[in-house]
Amino acid sequence: MRILQLLFAIVVTLLLLQDIPVRGLSDSQQCRSNHGHCRRLCFHMERWTGSCSNGRLRCCR
């Protein structure tokens, strides 16, 4: 029984430590994870780094 608990703890730890692949995130989530903001137009001191909402908005940073 103790071995099963140890194996369960190892499996749970491995599942929690996995990184989410960047390809699996939507473009809006990728923008926010890179400290960007989804807007129609970028402000003066921001630069356009990508797209959001499937290309309808810009990712400004």
> Does residue 60 surpass a pLDDT of 90?
yes
pTM value > 0.95: no
Per-residue model confidence (pLDDT) at position 17:
59
Confidence at 20, pLDDT banded by 50, 70, 90: very low
Per-residue model confidence (pLDDT) at position 14:
66
Distance CA 45, CA 12 (A): 44
- Say if residues 58 and 42 touch (Cβ distance below 8 Å): yes
Segment 23-36, tens digit of pLDDT: 556 888 999 999 99
Name 1's bridge partners. Answer: none
Average pLDDT, the chain: 81
